[in-house]
């Protein structure tokens, strides 16, 4: 059996890429509709130019054909006609910027069939009921962006992890680990002697990450370091990054170069990972004074964040496979140790109809195609260890999410900092999750469920999702209510132990010409992004004209507002702009001189809380705070996030980092 697909974007006998007008720009063949920024991202990050790949058309064919052929080989399609429909629909989705896979897919998938490049590897693939060691890198490529790896307290385990991190960074993925099993400084070792302590080993991992460029390009290594709140060296961990940042500031004041590749930050440690502390409900209820230490460090250097372990594990589909102790670098993929997840994100603005409604039919079809593609990737791909290969095959976690929520809200004339924005977030996320579950259930009927899907916690978690929808949807989208009811009543299990999360979509968001990334509001209407390897990219929100048109402004009025924005980098005081419309254009950062014109901390949390009950995983999201924010306010923000049922939280206080990759033009 197989999952049946119908045509939505394509016609029989016609390749969707032939319906696109192609032009030559930046020495690359690209769709005319793509912006210069999107083309630059594709050209600098994803095209295999050393192998002669100079067209975005070729990139889409390379990736799409490899996934299709793997699906055919694995028996996903009932006929060649079904395989052709899948291929055409996927091509249309990618070229139309309706969605994109995580970066390792574009880096690695299809490289061997397209160019005959095999590469060298020590990875593993699941085959014939076991994990098989590979000697090539691209025949079965690394396709997942997100990994979680375990580490034990013994020396060999520590350095095995170091090696496996390097393997992941090399092909463009990120990894996270809970280091709580490492012994504290001075503790007795089983083989005799004393431990040199947690921080001494974290410094080794930090320097290794600094030395590696992910994906073999200018993409930096991405890693998450977690520690349980009851670890003996927890206070040293909390203040580690903060103290190192202070050293960097001293070095810069003394004349050493700053920036991402500057001498100051390269000299100190602790700057190549995101750090988080894992806390329990009891920790949060008890008023543990350690929370103030965490808030103090986050106030000064934006780390550590918090992981709320009980909330995470309450929504765990398969606790019999082990507890969830860690996450990927950006905290959206939360799953068992030694697991991996491939991601795909939908560009929400592409589904907005002129009537101001979402095209739910097109959206549903896109979800179905992507879930199928991601599930094919699970067994097509290779993994750094046999255990991760086994867990990936058995549990099949996927990470479907979206980008451009902020841009969509702006075009709808809805302030991000509003209850209306939260309602839209509930409806979009709840619908996406129900559709993804339906696709996973259909795949389970066709291909079999994930190992352990018959466990009682699956139905329990599904009931929690359905209950949250009933309580928060306010009667909207009755077809989604029907979907949740149908999923709950079906005797068929799920193909995937996880299906949804919200990723940061940094690079792929720009590839899709998204005005805003992930679930975030815009950082600023105009900003500069520092690039790894040097240089900057200027970014201006492209949805402002569309938003103004939707609000009823004339062409001349829009031209005047845009001229003002180009000169001032904000809209406060723009000629002809009604004061009541200003909140629609509020961003995470306030324009200079107008501190009230920013999304509040409560506004950030409101949107996150609206999405979280409808995600298998979590949300990659930073709550941006003004420079005047106090330590106590950050401490209260952590408490509020926990009370709202969020799984994690990261904050950034303006000016708290010596290096800020994204800066407002104003």
Which residues are annotated as catalytic? 328, 330, 332
Contact 650, 621 (CB under 8 A): yes
Output the CA angle 92-93-94, nearest 5 degrees.
95
Contact 110, 69 (CB under 8 A): no
Structure tokens at 500: 């949804």
* 529/566 Cα distance (integer angstroms): 17
Nearest 10 degrees: Cα torsion 331, 335, 339, 343: -50
What H or E segment, with its residue span, contains residue 334?
strand 334-336
Structure tokens at 544: 């402002």
Contact 120, 137 (CB under 8 A): yes
Contact 421, 414 (CB under 8 A): yes
At residue 222, the 3 state secondary structure works out as strand
Query: Would you call 263 exposed, middle or buried from its count of C-beta atoms within 10 A (0-12, 13-18, 19+)?
Result: middle
Q: Which of 312, 270, 146, 295 is nearest to 650 (CA)?
A: 295
First to last CA, the chain: 57
Structure tokens at 190: 């089983």
* 514/178 Cα distance (integer angstroms): 33
For residues 150-185, b (16+ Cβ closer than 10 Å) or e, as one string? Answer: bbebeeeebebbeebbebbbbbbbbbbbbbbbbbbe
Query: Hunting for tokens 């809380």 — which residue is that?
Result: 609
Contact 37, 44 (CB under 8 A): no
Neighbour count for residue 126 (Cβ, 10 Å): 22
| DSSP H helical ranges for 448-551 | 456-472, 478-489, 506-511, 544-550
At residue 278, the 3 state secondary structure works out as strand
DSSP 47: -
Provide φ and ψ at 30, rounded to 5°.
-145, 155
* 393/451 Cα distance (integer angstroms): 9
Contact 589, 528 (CB under 8 A): no
Query: Would you call 580 exposed, middle or buried from its count of C-beta atoms within 10 A (0-12, 13-18, 19+)?
Result: exposed
Name the maximum alpha-carbon separation found in the chain. 79
Query: Would you call 80 exposed, middle or buried from its count of C-beta atoms within 10 A (0-12, 13-18, 19+)?
Result: exposed
CA atoms within 13 A on the CB side of 501: 31
Contact 436, 499 (CB under 8 A): yes
Contact 98, 350 (CB under 8 A): yes
């Amino acid at each position: 059996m197989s999952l049946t697909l119908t045509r939505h974007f394509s016609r029989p006998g016609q390749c969707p890429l032939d319906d696109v007008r192609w032009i030559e720009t930046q020495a690359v063949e690209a769709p005319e509709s793509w912006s210069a920024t999107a083309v630059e991202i594709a050209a600098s990050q994803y095209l295999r130019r050393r192998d002669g790949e100079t067209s975005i058309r070729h990139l889409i064919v390379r990736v799409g054909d490899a996934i299709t052929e793997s699906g055919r080989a694995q028996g996903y399609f009932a006929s060649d006609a079904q395989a052709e429909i899948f291929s055409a629909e996927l091509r249309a989705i990618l070229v139309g910027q309706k969605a994109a896979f995580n970066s390792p897919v574009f880096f690695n998938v299809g490289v061997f069939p397209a160019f005959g490049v095999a590469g060298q590897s020590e990875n593993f693939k699941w085959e014939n009921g076991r994990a098989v060691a590979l000697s090539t890198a691209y025949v079965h490529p690394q396709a997942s962006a997100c990994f979680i790896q375990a580490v034990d307290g013994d020396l060999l385990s520590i350095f095995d992890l170091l090696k496996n991190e390097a393997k992941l960074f090399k092909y463009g993925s990120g990894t996270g680990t809970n280091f709580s099993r490492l012994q504290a400084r001075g503790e007795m070792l089983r083989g005799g002697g004393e431990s040199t302590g947690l921080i001494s080993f974290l410094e080794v991992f930090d320097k290794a990450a600094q030395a590696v460029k992910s994906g073999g390009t200018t993409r930096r290594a991405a890693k998450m370091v977690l520690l349980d709140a009851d670890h003996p060296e927890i206070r040293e961990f909390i203040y580690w990054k903060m103290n190192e940042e202070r050293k960097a500031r001293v070095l810069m004041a003394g004349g050493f170069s700053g920036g991402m590749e500057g001498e100051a930050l390269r000299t100190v440690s602790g700057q190549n990972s995101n750090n988080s502390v894992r806390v329990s409900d009891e920790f949060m209820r008890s008023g543990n004074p350690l929370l103030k230490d965490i808030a103090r460090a986050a106030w000064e250097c934006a780390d550590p964040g918090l992981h709320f372990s009980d909330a995470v594990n309450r929504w765990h589909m398969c606790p019999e496979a082990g507890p969830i102790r860690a996450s990927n670098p950006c905290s959206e993929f939360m799953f068992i140790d030694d697991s991996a997840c491939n991601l795909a994100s939908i560009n929400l603005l592409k589904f907005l109809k002129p009537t101001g409604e979402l095209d739910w039919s097109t959206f549903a079809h896109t979800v179905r195609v992507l879930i199928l593609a991601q599930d094919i990737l699970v067994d097509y791909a290779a993994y750094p260890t046999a255990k991760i290969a086994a867990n990936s095959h058995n549990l099949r976690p996927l990470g479907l999410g979206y980008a451009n929520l902020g841009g969509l809200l702006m075009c709808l004339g809805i302030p991000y900092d509003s209850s209306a924005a939260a309602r839209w977030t509930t409806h979009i996320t709840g619908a996406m999750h129900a559709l993804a579950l339906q696709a996973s259930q259909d795949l389970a009927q066709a291909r079999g469920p994930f190992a352990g899907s018959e466990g009682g916690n699956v139905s329990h978690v599904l009931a929690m999702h359905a209950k949250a929808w009933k309580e928060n949807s306010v009667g909207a989208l009755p077809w989604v209510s029907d979907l949740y009811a149908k999923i709950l009543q079906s005797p068929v299990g799920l193909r995937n132990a996880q299906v949804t999360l919200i990723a940061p979509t940094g690079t792929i968001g720009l590839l899709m010409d998204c005005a805003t990334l992930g679930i975030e509001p815009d950082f600023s209407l105009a900003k500069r992004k520092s690039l790894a390897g040097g240089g900057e990219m200027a970014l201006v929100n492209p949805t402002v004209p569309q938003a103004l048109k939707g609000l009823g402004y004339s062409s001349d009025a829009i031209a005047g507002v845009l001229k003002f924005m180009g000169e001032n980098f904000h809209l406060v005081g723009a000629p002809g702009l009604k004061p009541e419309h200003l909140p629609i254009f509020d961003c995470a950062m306030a324009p200079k001189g107008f501190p009230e014109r920013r999304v509040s901390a409560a506004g950030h949390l409101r949107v996150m809380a609206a999405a979280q009950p409808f995600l298998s995983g979590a949300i990659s999201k930073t709550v941006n705070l003004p420079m005047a924010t106090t330590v106590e306010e950050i401490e209260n923000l952590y408490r509020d996030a926990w009370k709202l049922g969020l799984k994690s939280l990261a904050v950034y206080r303006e000016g708290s980092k010596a290096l800020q990759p994204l800066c407002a033009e104003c």
